[in-house]
């Protein structure tokens, strides 16, 4: 079963605007990761944030993690048309193999 929910399910913005996607999860985690998927393609790893971290940056990406609320957000600043994709958060499950449980995803459309 899926670990969490993401909102919004779909987001449509203009180039240059910021895009914020949220992810909630249900159980304790070691880390949370964000992935990007272009239509019909594989996943690209964007960023990993550990449970003892609150914020992390990578280029135009900013990820926050609030373990008390079991939620995370992904902010893409100064969006570009090439950012159009689906974005998924994934949390590690229990056990020793780092199983990833994916959220439902947010479909982002950036219009030129």
Partner 1 sequence: GAVVSQHPSWVICKSGTSVKIECRSLDFQATTMFWYRQFPKQSLMLMATSNEGSKATYEQGVEKDKFLINHASLTLSTLTVTSAHPEDSSFYICSAQPTTDTQYFGPGTRLTVL
Q: Is 24 in the site for partner 1 (CB under 8 A)?
A: no
**Taking Cα atoms as reference points, which of 2, 39, 46, 40 lies closest to residue 21?**
46
DSSP state of 41: S
- Please list the residues that pair with 48 across neighbouring strands: 33
Asked if residue 32 lies in contact with residue 65, where contact means CB atoms within 8 angstroms, the answer is yes
Closer CB to partner 1, residue 40 or residue 112?
40
Per rule CB under 8 A, is residue 109 in the interface with partner 1? no
Phi-psi sector, 80: left (phi>0), alpha (psi -120 to 50), beta: beta
Question: 2 and 103 in contact (C-beta within 8 Å)?
Answer: yes
91 counts as binding partner 1 under rule CB under 8 A: no
Closest distance to partner 1 from the beta carbon of 78 (Å):
26
Judged by CB under 8 A, the residue of 19, 63, 101, 110 near partner 1 is: 101
- Nearer of residues 56 and 107 to partner 1, judged by Cβ: 107
Q: How far is the CB of 42 from partner 1 (least distance, A)?
A: 4
Interface residues toward partner 1, by CB under 8 A: 2, 30-31, 33, 35, 40-45, 48, 88, 92, 97-105, 107
């Amino acid at each position: 079963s899926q670990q969490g929910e993401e909102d919004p399910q779909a987001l449509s913005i203009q180039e240059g605007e910021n895009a914020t996607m949220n992810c909630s999860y249900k159980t304790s985690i070691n880390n949370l990761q964000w992935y990007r998927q272009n239509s019909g393609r594989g996943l690209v790893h964007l960023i990993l944030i550990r449970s003892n971290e609150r914020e992390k940056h990578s280029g135009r990406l900013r990820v926050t993690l609030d373990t008390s609320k079991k939620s995370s957000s992904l902010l893409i600043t100064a969006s570009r048309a090439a950012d159009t994709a689906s974005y998924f958060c994934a949390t590690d499950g229990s056990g020793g193999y780092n199983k990833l449980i994916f959220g439902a995803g947010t479909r982002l459309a950036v219009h030129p």
